[in-house]
Structure 1
Amino acid sequence: MKRNIVIATVAAAALVGGGTATAVAFSGDSPEASSTPRSSVSVPHDDVHEDAREAKAATVSAPEAAAAALKAVPGTVTGIDLDQDRPGLVWEVDVLGKDSKWHEVTLDAGDAKVLNQRVEHAGDDDHGVDRARAELKGIAVDASAAARKAADRYGTVTSVDLDDDHRSSAVWEVETVSKDGKEHKLHVDPKTAGVTVAPRDADDDDNGGRDD
């Protein structure tokens, strides 16, 4: 999962009893992966509708995962992703800590238990701390709020990122799976919380539309 900036301040931990809309994924190939406790949730591997099965299996929401990560590492969540990894089904969360270091936290998607966490070394990621802070500055809608807004209409949130690629201002890019198994990619305005269906790729059937 690419590291784009996703917001979830320390206040989010108190605001939510747990939390989906904020975090970052990290590779299961890290040295820590082999010693990481297994998640209590497993999903049979199958590329077809994999996101839908993962969304159905997870009992911890994105905002709950974000809040749990912030309890482990105070700071700001910059991304979140639901993933079937070596430990099982997990939430992978990146936090820009109060210590000005990047932290990667892996949480059980069944009970929000912290399975693993590590500090990234300088230069490990493509967003420096200064750039991250600059992108987060002035944003009124944090990642948890963006996830809740998207979930109101489009189902279970599986990923949230602050996407600033090829546009004048950043938006929350939120991915969801609805009850019918359909996957949605949405943009949530970080200032107004307005929801826009993201434009489809050329080979997709539908065109994006506005949905406030």
Structure 2
Amino acid sequence: MKRHLIIATAAAAALVAGGTVTAVAVSADGSGSARSGAPVSARSAAHDTAAADSGTAHVQDGRSSIRMQDDDANGQEDRREARAAKVSAPDAAAAALKAVPGTVSGLDLDADRAGLVWEADVLGKDGKWHEVTLDAGNARVLNQHVDTDEDDDAKERAALRNARTDAASAARTAASHGTVTSVDLDDDDRGKAAWEVETITKDGKEHKLLVDPQTAKLSAVPAQSDDDNDNDGADD
């Protein structure tokens, strides 16, 4: 902590002077040495400060401890991800809220270039939408930023405020049907909000379930009938 404080102080001094400074790493015994070839410009210091104020987290290693490619060639991607993940959906939600206090509106287990991760959407106490990427192996925060592309849906905000059951509780309720791979607050279900949870069992069967945000009652997602599909646009 002292080491980072001294580096930050030196960078701030450079900002005032309008120049650059060489970062100095200071050990616990007070000795220090210049980090060769690593100048910290005033512009970089200002950028980092602004990023911190906006809720963006800078991490040393943005790679997941579970290396996995996004490859669904054999149709077993979801099963493979569920078996490899060491962090459950409720634990991912808890880790996301430690990074950004607020309310989790969605969780998704996915493999991308960073490896196997949990993507968490959080409506922060600051009123902004945040996206937190977590290592699916140890819940470490890999990336965190304010999602400026998120549609500001007043209906979803209201549903989150009024919900008595949160995303973690919805995941625990649905866990009896397999490993939870996705949780999302769906406010378009016949005008009534519901937690939509996806699970997968060890034999590869996938389930889509609904958890009532008020009562925590569990139900299956109604399947669309063939008649409904055939009648779409029939009167056009």
Question: How big is the shift at 1:142?
Answer: 1.0
CA distance in 1, matches of 2:119, 2:224: 26
Of 161, 166, 173, 1:142 maps to: 166
TM-score normalised by structure 2 residue count: 0.66
Question: How big is the shift at 1:138?
Answer: 2.4
C-alpha change, 1:101 and 1:137, in structure 2 (3 Å) is closer
Of 36, 40, 45, 2:65 maps to: 40
CA distance in 1, matches of 2:206, 2:157: 31
Instruction: Determine which structure has greater relative contact order: mean sequence separation of CA pairs < 8 Å that are 6+ residues apart, divided by chain length.
Output: 1
Of 91, 102, 107, 1:64 maps to: 91
CA distance in 2, matches of 1:127, 1:107: 23
Greater fraction of residues in helix: 2
Q: Detail structure 1 runs of 4+ shifted over 6 Å in the superposition.
A: none
Of 184, 187, 193, 1:164 maps to: 187
Question: How big is the shift at 1:88?
Answer: 0.4
Amino acid at match of 1:76: T
* Residues 36 and 116 in structure 1, CA contact (< 8 A), matched pair in contact too: no
Structure with max Cα Rg: 2
CA distance in 2, matches of 1:103, 1:118: 6
**Equivalent residue of 2:106, what SS?**
strand
Amino acid at match of 1:145: S
CA distance in 2, matches of 1:61, 1:143: 12
Q: How many residues align?
A: 166
C-alpha change, 1:136 and 1:40, in structure 2 (3 Å) is same
Which consecutive residues of structure 1, in runs of 5 or more, have no partner in the other structure? 1-31, 204-212
Greater fraction of residues in strand: 2
TM-score normalised by structure 1 residue count: 0.73
Amino acid at match of 1:192: T
Amino acid at match of 1:177: I
CA distance in 1, matches of 2:211, 2:135: 26
Question: How big is the shift at 1:156?
Answer: 0.6
Query: After alignment, is 44-53 or 170-179 more displaced?
Result: 44-53
What is the CA deviation profile of residues 22-42 of structure 1, one whole-angstrom value per residue up to 9, with x for unaligned ones?
A: xxxxxxxxxx9xx96211112
Of 204, 214, 221, 1:191 maps to: 214
Question: How big is the shift at 1:168?
Answer: 2.6
